[in-house]
A and B are shown apart, each in its own frame.
Chain A
Amino acid sequence: MEIRHKIFSIESDNPHKPEYLVMAVTYDEEDLDDLGVDRTSWDFSEDYFGRDEYSKILAQWKDPTLLREFYDGNIKFLSDSYWHNISKNRFVLDVTSSVINIVHDFKQSCSNQELYSHFEPLSKRDESIRARNESTNKHRILKLKAKYGLILDRIAFRIYAIEIEQNCYLITGGAIKLVQEMEDAPNTDLEMRKLKYVEDALDAAGICSMATLLDYINY
């Protein structure tokens, strides 16, 4: 696993310590195997393997071939009345059109240093970590999700991240949310495993602040 792709930063007077930093994880072959990603998955394809998670999800949400396959593979969810039996081509058009706005909104959140309010804790445990972080001077890392973009007027996209500090975030992945409970759909279940995987790896490496992250990588 690598943390080397800087996807947004606001630099400070100190060239080695930005004021605001957003990075994205890059998974290698072993990571993907450990995460249970199928070898025939798009993540292993030439188009996507080795890309950081942020640029990968953006590229995948613009890829008509992948989206058509995704539709076919998730037809049991998409043919549900919740999705009004959305057609395959309408699904692809909605997703590819939404990406432009998702990116715009995400960039705005970064530029305004608003990721803290835009991302919400993933679970009850993360909620209590955030509450504790707010009431004490100490900061513990926590898992987050943010909602973006529309399909058929429903907010359907999620971006997942780890908050290292209030001014430092690490994108671990993203998904099109098909059903209410994330565990019920394979794509969002994988994203939850990625978050835990990265959280554990950060813990093991002793990365718990922007300073320790910057020490770890060659910024």
Chain B
Amino acid sequence: MKGLRKINSGTTVVDSTSWIKENEYALTHQKEIRATTKIILKLMDYMENSGLSQSDLARKLDVSPQYIHKLFHGQEKSFRIETAIEYGEKLGISLINIPEDDLMIYQETSMSAHFSFSGEKTDDHPVKTKCTPRNRVSFKKNQRWTPQMKFNFA
């Protein structure tokens, strides 16, 4: 350290309390912010692995270098899903993945809901149905039924 530095006196106080309001937004949008950061990191990985500069990337995405700068320095708060898909298409990469397995679960659930059962219902005794050798279902009158094992539709 070279010597004692002085504090400027008589400076007008600046109100820098905007961080409080900004964080209120962030607190209610944590998932979006995390997802946006993941997309930004994918773009950065792509840029580095392809040996591109920020200007090169801006050209490929048809945006300004200033926008890329803001994006890569965490100064852009929102990132629309359409934009992520559009950028992914322009770069030939996927910026948003929805695993196929997840979709299959929804299909299975949907098919289960439309399955019809044969068997005799009584007030309090579960019955075995004859639909397939393995699809045991228990249900009671006036209650929601729950499959005890998953059906195989393969």
Binding site for B on A (CB under 8 A): 1-9, 23-24, 30-31, 33-36, 47, 52, 54-55, 58-59, 62-66, 68, 89, 92-93, 96-97, 99-100, 103-104, 107, 193, 197, 200-202, 204-205, 207, 216-219
B44 & A64 in contact (Cβ 8 Å cutoff): yes
Q: Is B4 an interface residue (CB 8 A)?
A: yes
B13 & A218 in contact (Cβ 8 Å cutoff): yes
Instruction: Return chain A residues, CB-CB under 8 Å to B41.
Output: 64, 89, 92-93
Q: Mark B12-24, 1 if CB is under 8 A from A, else 0.
A: 1111110110010
Q: Give A205's nearest chain B residue, CB to CB.
A: B7
A95 to chain B, nearest CB (A): 10
CB-defined A-B contacts under 8 Å, sample of 28: A1-B7, A3-B8, A3-B11, A4-B11, A4-B12, A6-B17, A8-B20, A34-B1, A34-B2, A34-B3, A54-B19, A55-B16, A58-B19, A62-B74, A64-B37, A64-B44, A68-B44, A93-B34, A93-B38, A96-B74, A97-B30, A97-B34, A193-B1, A201-B5, A207-B7, A216-B9, A217-B11, A217-B13
Q: Is B79 an interface residue (CB 8 A)?
A: no
B4 & A204 in contact (Cβ 8 Å cutoff): yes
Binding site for A on B (CB under 8 A): 1-17, 19-20, 23, 26-27, 30, 33-34, 37-38, 40-41, 44-45, 72-74
B73 to chain A, nearest CB (A): 5
Q: Give the distance in Å from the alpha carbon of A52 to the alpha carbon of B17 in the complex.
A: 12
Partner of B9, one of A34, A65, A217: A217
B27 & A100 in contact (Cβ 8 Å cutoff): yes
Q: Give A62's nearest chain B residue, CB to CB.
A: B74
Q: Give A2's nearest chain B residue, CB to CB.
A: B8
Partner of A2, one of B11, B23, B38: B11
B84 to chain A, nearest CB (A): 15
